[in-house]
Chain A
Amino acid sequence: MNTELLERVRERLAGEGREAALAHGLLAVQLPRDALLDTVRVLKESFGFDLFLDVTAVDWPEREARFDVVFHFYSTRDHVRVRLKTAVTEVDPEVDSLVPLYGSAAFMERECHDMYGIRFRGNADLRPILLYEGFEGHPLRKDYPKDREQPLVRYRE
């Protein structure tokens, strides 16, 4: 692993409310949500993180800012990974969309919207992708019961 490079990224990103630390082989950065798009732009343009791997969320129901939105990036040149994490509240679960920077973000943001109800500002197409039209609620939220079914077809007697 190229720790020297990650160290440089860490120095560049530290400050402005961002906290960065090396953990389990990648650089984990905690940042305020307004800084997201700028940070990703720095990562992509200055450090060559060209592969957008993943976006998902983590639900902490007891916290004020209930959801952590988690992004993973990979540099195909230097073979290192960065994780960005930003917290949003249940009332206003909105972060900036990464679709302008990475095409692959479109589908993954749709999935995250399905599962957690996170809205991505700038992604115009948040139709259900893994779920279906008419599904109410967000199944991966901790308060959604695991076995609450919403059938589309009426059952036989």
Chain B
Amino acid sequence: MRDTEETLPNPVRPAFETPSTEDGVIVNIGPSHPATHGTLQIIAELSGEKVVRADVHCGYLHRGFEKECEAHTWHTLIPYVDRLNYCSALINDFAYCDAVETLMGVEITPRTRYLRTLLSEYSRIADHMTCIAASVMELGAMTAFLYLMTIRDWIYEHLADLTGARVTYSYGRIGGLAHDLPDGWLKRLEEILDEYEEYIGRIHGLMDRNRIFIDRTRDVGVISTKDAIHWGFTGPILRSTGAPRDLRRDTPYLAYGELDFEVPVGINGDNYDRYYVRMREMDESVYMIRQLIEMLPEGPINVDDRRCTLPEKERVYTEIESLINHFKLVIDGPQVPAGEVYRAHEAANGELGFFLVSDGTGRPHKVHARAPSFVHMGGLHKLLEGYQFADIISTFGTVNMIGGECDR
């Protein structure tokens, strides 16, 4: 234990301690700062109002995700996976389950496949809403924030009807889902989508041609496609530069291959484009959800595979084989064959990949999440350098750094 009563230790070591020019000033932003709605620290060198250099530090929310996973069975670590990107927890769930299923050679049922697609898109809407709400609020647009929060709360309550939790759902299961849709869920979904369209129209009206908003975001935080790829950007940031790169289109998984949708792209790769790409993506998600409601087949949601699916309760109580099966699955967890797998889904922020290593037992040897936010933080300084100090706020907002997946 260190003696820290008087001087608290600094957990980070800045890359530079003295300014490079005579009139330079070094300013620290974060990790607890109104402009960083996440736990990020930026140490910036300013020349006047201009950012000359930026040193980005993350890790303030490093909660030992990967170490914690190694102590759990393949099934019981799902709640940890939820808390990576807590704005769209369902996408994480399904990406993780998909990776384990690939390793086990399990093919999910058609109903689950469509349901997962539908819920992924629904989560994407909630995630983009959170991102836009937070970033426009920091630029002063409180009304837009309140509108978006209202509709997001409806989505949260609606998902709570399905899963029992508002934010962290733990709804995915290896080989299926926790349970089927409750009665009337799809009807309410259609109502919310209709409400969504009305509210999002108001956001367009408030923000799109708003002089203040345009001045704060247009030509700010610009990045080219080439640089974006060099720095590992994926998702809406890469698409805002004009590159139509979307895993849902490029390497279709779940039911995306059967859906009709566009991949919205920007032109400049600036903050305004990132805002607009997200707005358009939400519209595409609604369009996809409407198709999926039509396509959703009846049938079971869990695969009939005793390696991963729990037997029905009634059989557990009446047959010794099912009882043992249930017991083994709960205590030892599903036995995943030895091997390695990397599966990536298009999460709300970009490519979310799970790299799993199994040694053939019920506990993972390694779980690694390739989280988009962490990679984005590695290139964040490219978006900040050369712009005004106040632009950090708008750029950081539209990059949508999520502490849980950034620091894991």
Per the CB under 8 Å rule, do A and B touch in the complex? Answer: yes
Mask for B121-154, Cβ within 8 A of A = 1, else 0? 0000000000000000000000000000000000
Q: Within the complex, which residue of A72, A76, A134, A155 is in contact with B342, where a contact is CB–CB below 8 Å?
A: A72
Minimum Cβ distance to chain B for residue A79 (Å): 4
Which residues of A sit under 8 angstroms from B379, Cβ to Cβ?
103-104
Name the residue on A nearest B105 (C-beta): A24
Name the residue on A nearest B226 (C-beta): A50
Q: B3 interface residue, CB < 8 Å from A? A: yes
Q: A8 interface residue, CB < 8 Å from B? A: no
Q: Within the complex, which residue of A23, A128, A144 is in contact with B340, where a contact is CB–CB below 8 Å?
A: A23
Q: B231 interface residue, CB < 8 Å from A? A: yes
Q: Within the complex, which residue of A79, A103, A131 is in contact with B251, where a contact is CB–CB below 8 Å?
A: A79
Which residues of B sit under 8 angstroms from A139, Cβ to Cβ?
64, 67
**Are B232 and A104 in contact (CB-based, < 8 A)?**
yes
Which residues of A sit under 8 angstroms from B66, Cβ to Cβ?
115, 140
- A26 CA / B344 CA spacing, docked (Å): 11
Q: B365 interface residue, CB < 8 Å from A? A: yes
Which residues of B sit under 8 angstroms from A76, Cβ to Cβ?
229, 243, 245
Give the residues from 312 to 339 in chain B that come closer than 8 angstroms, CB to CB, to chain A: 339
Give the residues from 107 to 157 in chain A that come closer than 8 angstroms, CB to CB, to chain B: 107-108, 111, 115, 125, 127-134, 139-140, 144, 146, 151-155
- A24 CA / B230 CA spacing, docked (Å): 26
- A102 CA / B368 CA spacing, docked (Å): 20
**Are A107 and B378 in contact (CB-based, < 8 A)?**
yes
Of the stretches A9-17, A33-41, A53-61, A86-94, the one at the interface is: A53-61
Q: B234 interface residue, CB < 8 Å from A? A: yes
- A106 CA / B377 CA spacing, docked (Å): 11
**Are B4 and A52 in contact (CB-based, < 8 A)?**
no
Which residues of A sit under 8 angstroms from B339, Cβ to Cβ?
23-24
Which residues of A sit under 8 angstroms from B343, Cβ to Cβ?
24-25
Which residues of B sit under 8 angstroms from A130, Cβ to Cβ?
58-59, 62, 407-408
- A155 CA / B344 CA spacing, docked (Å): 41
- A104 CA / B67 CA spacing, docked (Å): 24
Q: A20 interface residue, CB < 8 Å from B? A: no
Which residues of A sit under 8 angstroms from B351, Cβ to Cβ?
53, 74
Which residues of A sit under 8 angstroms from B57, Cβ to Cβ?
129
**Are B4 and A152 in contact (CB-based, < 8 A)?**
yes
**Are B4 and A154 in contact (CB-based, < 8 A)?**
yes
**Are B375 and A104 in contact (CB-based, < 8 A)?**
yes
Contact of A26 with B342 at beta-carbon distance under 8 Å, contacts A54-B353, A54-B370, A76-B245 already known: yes
**Are A108 and B355 in contact (CB-based, < 8 A)?**
no
Between A and B, how many residue pairs show CB distances below 8 Å? 130
Total number of B residues with any Cβ neighbor in A under 8 Å: 56
- A76 CA / B243 CA spacing, docked (Å): 9
Minimum Cβ distance to chain A for residue B39 (Å): 12
Minimum Cβ distance to chain A for residue B322 (Å): 31
- A71 CA / B220 CA spacing, docked (Å): 33
- A131 CA / B103 CA spacing, docked (Å): 31
Q: Within the complex, which residue of B3, B15, B64, B230 is in contact with A125, where a contact is CB–CB below 8 Å?
A: B15
Q: B102 interface residue, CB < 8 Å from A? A: yes
Which residues of B sit under 8 angstroms from A53, Cβ to Cβ?
232, 344, 351, 353, 370
Q: Within the complex, which residue of A1, A107, A140 is in contact with B377, where a contact is CB–CB below 8 Å?
A: A107
Q: B10 interface residue, CB < 8 Å from A? A: yes
- A79 CA / B68 CA spacing, docked (Å): 32
Minimum Cβ distance to chain A for residue B73 (Å): 15
Minimum Cβ distance to chain A for residue B378 (Å): 3
- A25 CA / B251 CA spacing, docked (Å): 10
Give the residues from 11 to 57 in chain B that come closer than 8 angstroms, CB to CB, to chain A: 11-13, 15, 57
Can you name 17 extra interface pairs (CB under 8 A) apart from A103-B232, A133-B10? A23-B340, A25-B102, A25-B343, A53-B344, A58-B357, A70-B340, A72-B342, A76-B243, A103-B230, A104-B232, A115-B66, A127-B12, A132-B59, A133-B11, A139-B67, A140-B67, A146-B64
Query: Which residues of A line the B interface, CB within 8 A?
Result: 1, 23-26, 28, 50-54, 56, 58-59, 70, 72, 74, 76, 79, 81, 83, 102-104, 106-108, 111, 115, 125, 127-134, 139-140, 144, 146, 151-155
A selection of 13 A-B contacts at a CB cut-off of 8 Å is: A23-B339, A24-B340, A53-B344, A53-B351, A54-B368, A58-B357, A74-B351, A81-B344, A83-B342, A127-B12, A130-B407, A140-B67, A152-B2
